[in-house]
Amino acid sequence: MPCDGIAVMQAQLDRQAKQDSIQMVTSILKGHTILSRKESARTVAMDVLLGGTFPIKIAISETGTITAITQSGTFAQGKDALEKLIVQALQAKGADLKNIRFEQHRHDHQAPRLAYNVSQARG
């Protein structure tokens, strides 16, 4: 299915240490397939399959910055999925999310690199 837009979400977990942020995000991913997980000194990145069919990438920096990117569908579908999966789920767990932003990117090959670079630059 061709992608007419990728949704990129960025948010900041207020006053969260890296390990707490990782645990909090991992807890909301239960029930979804985690395809891969890569950890560096500054960032944890995961490829996740929502509901078995909707691929996303999530990066959590050491400062609690979360970047999530949809990999298929439309911008509206991606934004909706990320709002439900990340924003609403984290807020339901008592997380204090700040600076929540959604952006649309039309080129699949540019959005992941851009979002991950921004996440690491802030971290």
User: How many domains, the chain?
Assistant: 1
CA 69 to chain centre: 6
CATH number of domain containing 50: 3.30.310.200
In a domain, 59, yes or no: yes
In a domain, 1, yes or no: no
In a domain, 32, yes or no: yes
Distance between CA atoms of 27 and 78, rounded to whole angstroms?
20
Q: Within a 10 A sphere around the Cβ of 36, how many other Cβ atoms?
A: 9
What pLDDT tens digit does each residue of the chain (123 aa) get? Answer: 344 458 899 999 876 666 788 888 888 888 889 999 999 888 889 999 987 788 999 998 888 889 999 878 888 989 999 998 889 999 998 888 899 999 987 654 544 454 455 445 444
| pTM for this predicted structure | 0.77
Domain that holds residue 95: 6-122
Distances (CA, A) of 97 to 4, 26, 34, 68, 78: 28, 16, 23, 14, 19
